Chain A
């Protein structure tokens, strides 16, 4: 029994020793790919540990009471560490936002797609300039609002209209829309 086993081993050694090039290449390839997969598998936990942790993901929704926000005013609330602008738009501002032809826009999107149907006066956007992340001015009535009556970014001069759409560069995109729903007439839930 022991004899046959060692004979098999000896055979195996001789076969490998015979250096069949195709077989050797195959073994090298196999070893190489096993190492690559192993390294990849162990690197991923390190990389993924830098992604948002569970507690950060958990802080995901807030409720905002809209009652105190008068027409023409805007407030800033914080959601996931980001400023969210909630603006009670005047009739003029809504009309202005709706009447713009889409081909005049840098990032074409109709006003209707940016608010909830029947709640056109409430504009809820992420208050982060899509250029390099500054907080645009315009929530306070005394702030500069740019040529389009929305927001003005002090960092590199981007301008947004009353629908939060970018109208003047360098920002490439409209102000982002957070996921939110109306919970009653004067309350929204963001997240």
Chain B
């Protein structure tokens, strides 16, 4: 028989299992003693928070599905029944609805972290690309979930988004009919959206698993963006980062609970409490807040196909980001110009989000176009050039040096490379 595992666990049951299938050893290796850079700041909490969000969404979703009916004549009422009659139905639904928002907030910050500290650069390109895949799957899942309550925004959101595909020349109309399973968004559409909305979180789970596998091969990046050089630079994941993540999780849950219990409809749209009506379009169709930036990009182009292409490329550009950014230095902390530009990029994203929620007229159109232009300029022009022009600050020799030699213990000690003394534990 091909080698049994020699387990070191003392508990006889655990040992018995571990001998035959060493998952406990694997957990211990990947989450217990896993060597992790010792200089993480709180930005490194957001991966764990995203995992928690996914788990919360799946848990609440499974129970909501027990009371939801995917039929155009029953869906809206079944959601109202969940709110009024099902025990704690209101809680499950508000957690699920606001959980989507929390998930996107967390993931957007997680992505910002990756961009700011250069976590997408070699050797973590694949890790980053898997992350972009997760983002796309999340968007598809969230979109289909929003359709299920079958309110006005559900219906018209579904109509507008599925119609994006009609912009494809020749086959577009056929694809849209196929997506709908009819000649308009109707019962077949609702049914398949429910089926896919239930399926996709598990696909996300699968890709998250790959994301973590890739992470555990390359190891984590860190705020200095330099490689781990010796065991001195790392800490075991447990208890150091399990503890640090726990603090983040508490804050996350506080914010989450605040939303659920005090402002459960803050991020929702009142029109979605009106049952879907295929003959009346609401005056303002707006998507959920986390889609607003892309919606703004879509609308900033006066041409249908052009708008759709630009919208999809705004995310697709992230797939090639590891090759667009030519600078060998990862962390923005040592890139004086990039450090400014990334803030401009974040600003353009926020402006797009603001504009996406406004009617497409006057100043909003102009703002939307400027921000869209910057988004693409940033990734396609500035980043490739910047790598050549920018003079990065000198990098510290290792993670331990600046971490160990920081005030108040400073005063003595050998000379440090300039820049390494800049408080590495600060939270930017």
Contact = CB atoms under 8 A, between A and B. Distances in A.
B93 interface: no
B1 to A, nearest CB: 33
A50 B361 CA distance: 38
Contacts of A170: 299, 301-304, 307
A134 B183 contact: no
A136 to B, nearest CB: 8
A169 B163 CA distance: 16
A42 interface: no
Given A56-B183, A170-B303, A135 B280 contact: yes
A83 B277 CA distance: 11
B156 A52 contact: no
A81 B181 contact: no
A76 B188 CA distance: 23
Given A50-B178, A169-B302, A171-B304, A156 B278 contact: no
Q: How large is the interface on A (under 10, 10 to 19, 20 to 34, 35 or more residues)?
A: 20 to 34
B159 A157 contact: no
Contact of B178 (A51, A83, A133): A51
Interface in B318-349: none
A135 B182 contact: no
A153 to B, nearest CB: 8
A143 to B, nearest CB: 11
B285 A155 contact: yes
Contacts of A172: 303-305
Contact of A50 (B156, B192, B301): B192
A102 interface: no
B281 interface: yes
Contact of A133 (B159, B307, B360): B159
A47 B284 CA distance: 34
Interface in B387-411: none
Interface in A7-48: 47
A120 to B, nearest CB: 26
Contacts of A134: 156, 159-160, 281, 285
B279 interface: yes
A132 B281 CA distance: 12
Contact of B163 (A50, A81, A82, A133): A133
Contacts of A108: none
B71 to A, nearest CB: 15
Contact of A132 (B163, B178, B188): B163
B283 interface: yes
B183 A52 contact: yes
A131 interface: yes
Q: How large is the interface on B (under 10, 10 to 19, 20 to 34, 35 or more residues)?
A: 35 or more
Contacts of B360: 156-157
B279 A135 contact: yes
B186 interface: yes
A172 B299 CA distance: 14
Tell me which of B166, B177, B180, B183 has the highest count of chain A C-beta atoms within 10 A of its own C-beta.
Answer: B183
Interface string B155-197: 0100110111010000000000111111110101000100000
B184 A56 contact: no
Contacts of A80: 182-184
A155 B359 CA distance: 8
Nearest to A128: B184
Nearest to B282: A154
A95 to B, nearest CB: 30
B278 A133 contact: no
B181 A50 contact: yes
A62 interface: no
B278 A51 contact: no
Interface in A58-86: 76, 78, 80-83
Interface string A150-174: 0000111100000000000111100
B394 to A, nearest CB: 51
A155 B131 CA distance: 33
A90 B9 CA distance: 88
B181 A53 contact: yes
A137 B283 CA distance: 10
A132 B159 contact: yes
B279 A81 contact: no
A56 B361 contact: no
B281 A154 contact: yes
B307 to A, nearest CB: 7
Interface of A: 47, 50-53, 56, 76, 78, 80-83, 128, 131-135, 154-157, 169-172
Given A52-B180, A78-B278, A154-B284, 6 more contacts: A51-B178, A52-B188, A82-B183, A132-B159, A134-B285, A170-B303
19 contacts: A51-B181, A53-B181, A80-B183, A80-B184, A81-B184, A83-B279, A128-B184, A132-B159, A132-B164, A133-B160, A133-B163, A134-B156, A134-B160, A134-B285, A154-B284, A155-B160, A155-B285, A169-B302, A170-B301
